[in-house]
Amino acid sequence: MSNTTQTINEQDPKSVTNKRYLPLLLVNYGFLFIGSLSSSLLSKYYFNHKGSSRWVSTWVQSAGFPLLIIPIVVPYYLFKSTQRKPFTGFTPKILALSIFIGFMLGVNNLLFSWGNSYLPVSTSSLLLSSQLVFNLILSVIIVKQKITFMNLNCVILLTLSSVLLALESSNDEPHDVTKTKYFIGYLATIGAGLLFALYLPIMEKVYKKVYCYAMVMEMQMVMEVAATVLASIGMVFDGGFTEMKREGYQVFDKGEKVYWATVVSNVVSWQLCFMGTAGMVFLTCSLTGGICMTALLMMNVVGGVVVYKEEFGGVKVVSTVMCGWGFCSYVYGMYVKNKMLKDRDDGGGGGHDSDDKNVGSYNPIEMTQIVNSSSSSSSPPLHIGV
């Protein structure tokens, strides 16, 4: 491999040869881990202590978008670690796509809140893993994801864990929830999973035209603003803002201070979750992001049992073990694949396969400097758009 190509790979944030790739990947997975676990438990805590507004629960999932200003502006204005100004290359087409996807995310948030208000955390978490098989199918259609033994084995194991839960779900109904509400929660949770399965490959398709992590956060901020606008409209028509004040003063049985602490904690935890999801899809692929999220649902199951003393019978034990087994096998396969790619690059091998997400678009500023320094080759300009 030529020195020019190797230098470009080292500058590419999605290349395994880039020294920043693994730390950035681990940070995003950490955000996803903390955000997924805490947001699920906090949402259930809100409903367990007489919080009743599904619009409030929906609104807090996206209202923390101002927190995204930190990763957007700090690297340029404070650390001076990048030459790219925030929102550079943010075309009208990208803006329109981000707004549309944001509205779709807002509907997904509402479905999740609806399901979480009626179902136990453990049941809701395991049901959401059913999105994985649809994620695989849609990834094949939208981003031409190749089906391999590694990803197919993982999808089958994680999906079977959901099927086992569904067969036993009738014995897991909360005492204060009617069968009708339980059924509504069941369908809403499945709907949220299916919509999220569509969201992930669409994001991967869009991110293929994105050349830096900061731009991912900028798109995520626009999406969250759109989702917040949708939730705010629902709040206004349903009296949600007035209800939020009344809940804090009169309804929430843990007191006003705990109520607002719960709301703020929900806002922060959901932003960590969505930041981690966006970063995982950008750095890997939509299927890997979906698998990581599904595997984290196993921790949500354990969290529901530990925190809320939910029932953890034989079916949930088997489902959790299968979930962990599928995820670990997939991670090991990814480790072997990335190691082979890195060894091939270090050994001077050829280019990457077209389906490898470790290779993506390059920073045009850095790429131009690299190519200009080489007298033997030239490249056409990169266009930032979708």
- The residue assigned the tokens 């850095």 is 366
pLDDT score recorded for residue 364: 37
Average pLDDT, the chain: 79
Least confident of 151-160, 194-203, 340-349: 340-349
Domain boundaries of the chain, sorted by first residue: 21-346
User: Residue 219: is its pLDDT beyond 90?
Assistant: yes
Spatial separation of the C-alpha atoms in residues 290 and 133, rounded to whole Å: 10
pLDDT tens-place string over residues 325-336: 888 888 888 778
pLDDT tens-place string over residues 155-188: 888 778 766 765 665 555 666 678 888 888 888 9
Higher pLDDT, 174 or 135: 135
DSSP per-residue string spanning 61-74: TTTTGGGGHHHHHI
Higher pLDDT, 146 or 385: 146
Q: Is 231 in contact with 110 (CB distance < 8 Å)?
A: yes
Share of the chain above pLDDT 90, in %: 25
Residues 6+ apart with CB under 8 A from 290: 131, 132, 135, 196, 197, 200
Where does the pLDDT of residue 22 fall: very low under 50, low under 70, confident under 90, or very high at 90 and above? confident
Length of the chain: 386
Spatial separation of the C-alpha atoms in residues 178 and 184, rounded to whole Å: 10
pLDDT score recorded for residue 386: 32
pLDDT score recorded for residue 120: 77
Higher pLDDT, 123 or 104: 104
Q: Is 296 in contact with 128 (CB distance < 8 Å)?
A: no
Q: Is 240 in contact with 59 (CB distance < 8 Å)?
A: yes
Residues 6+ apart with CB under 8 A from 92: none
Q: What mean pLDDT comes out for the span 299-305?
A: 79
Q: Is 127 in contact with 190 (CB distance < 8 Å)?
A: yes
Query: Nearest-CA neighbor of 384 among 368, 369, 362, 367?
Result: 362
SS3 313: coil
Q: What mean pLDDT comes out for the span 136-151?
A: 87
The CB density around residue 286, as the number of other CB atoms within 10 Å, is 28
User: Residue 284: is its pLDDT beyond 50?
Assistant: yes
Task: Quote the Cα angle for 315-170-296, to 5°.
Answer: 45
pTM score, two decimals?
0.77
DSSP element (H, E) containing 323: helix 314-346
Spatial separation of the C-alpha atoms in residues 382 and 240, rounded to whole Å: 46
